[in-house]
Amino acid sequence: MNKFPKRYFLTLIWTFHTNLIVWSISYLLFGLILSCKHFWTGLVLQFQIDKDYLLKFKNKKFTGLNLGHTVIIVSRKANKDGIDTSIEKHEHGHAEQWEGNCLFSFLIASVVFSISIFVGNLNAFLYFILFVWFFGGYVIYFCRSVQAWIRGENIYSGNADEESMRAQFK
């Protein structure tokens, strides 16, 4: 990734809390328990797993999974360290989408926080602010899946995030 490193510090402002949770759980599960190959590409922690069944859901096998700044890829779909296959590029593209979703959530939480401070009733909105800040990036992805379902499309492949990633890396 050829992005200026200062971008990483800016991105951490609105993603660090979720990163700490997901990185810790993922590293414990995949890095220590399953002893998967892992490496860092910027802010993204990538795991390469040998077990196809770990990414299986309702008889459908996935070759990659993105959890924000954590990417899990089946080893046979990744050549070597670094981002060099279309699956890896696709999943790392989702990481950038997630950063945008988290920025949006952070801004919403900041506005609600400012209003609640101005009104003088922070306690009334504290749980809402924390929920939006911590889980907003994932909620936005979920809402895009619901939107696809309402349109009559598949909730996974009709999701706007998936459609844009497939269009970029065809």
Q: pLDDT value at position 151?
A: 92
Q: pLDDT value at position 149?
A: 93
Residue at a domain's end among 85, 103, 127: 85
Q: Is the pLDDT of residue 36 over 80?
A: no
Q: pLDDT value at position 150?
A: 94
Residues 81 and 101 in one domain: no
Is residue 37 a part of any domain in this protein?
yes
Distance of CA 121 to the CA centre of its chain: 32
Residue at a domain's end among 85, 120, 146: 85
Closest C-alpha among 22, 11, 170, 9 to residue 96: 11
Out of 11-25, 59-73, 85-99, 155-169, least confident range: 59-73
Q: Is the pLDDT of residue 106 over 60?
A: yes
Long-range pairs for 3-8: beta carbons < 8 A, 24 or more residues apart: 3/42, 8/42, 8/43
Residue at a domain's end among 45, 66, 85: 85
For residue 161, give Cα distances in angstroms to 66, 87, 104, 131: 12, 15, 15, 22
For residue 74, the enclosing domain spans 6-85
**Could you read off the pLDDT of 64-84 as tens digits, one per residue?**
778 888 887 776 656 666 666
Instruction: Tell me the mean pLDDT in the region 140-156.
Output: 91
pTM over 0.85: no
Out of 4-18, 49-63, 118-132, least confident range: 49-63
Q: Which two tokens stand for residue 39?
A: 């490496």
Is residue 157 a part of any domain in this protein?
yes
Residues 158 and 98 in one domain: yes
Residues 47 and 115 in one domain: no
Q: pLDDT value at position 9?
A: 76
